[in-house]
Amino acid sequence: MNTIDDLLATTDHKTILEWTRRNQGIPIMKSKNKEGVKEIAIDFSNGTENDDAVAVTWEEWLRVFDKRKLVFMYGDHINNEQSRLYYRLESRQSLVTAALKHSPQ
């Protein structure tokens, strides 16, 4: 599962919180990226895999999500009887641009 067709997409805060909580994730803020901007993410490892991350409140996480005009893309993938969660954050503009490129002319 790694194509847009395989995922659900939302900007709805309630949907994001429900999916994340159901899958035992917490909102985090990672260290600055190469552009010097801190990245928001979801941690499903109980803090064991994100040494450079800090837990943040949902209010703070969603404020950044809205300010950056992101879309939460998510899904559950079952492969060979093994379940795996998948999510990513995309800019709303990049999704519009991608959709326009793939639409019939």
10-residue mean pLDDT profile of the chain (105 residues): values are: 65 96 92 75 77 88 95 75 75 66 56
Quick one: pLDDT at residue 11? 95
Residue 2 CB coordination number (10 Å):
9
Residue range(s) defining the domain that contains residue 43: 4-102
In this predicted model, what pLDDT tens digit does every residue of 20-40 receive, in sequence order?
Answer: 999 999 999 987 667 667 889
pTM of the model: 0.75
Domain count, the chain: 1
Task: List CB contacts of 28: < 8 A, sequence separation 6 or more.
Answer: 40, 41, 42, 43, 50, 53, 54, 55, 56, 61
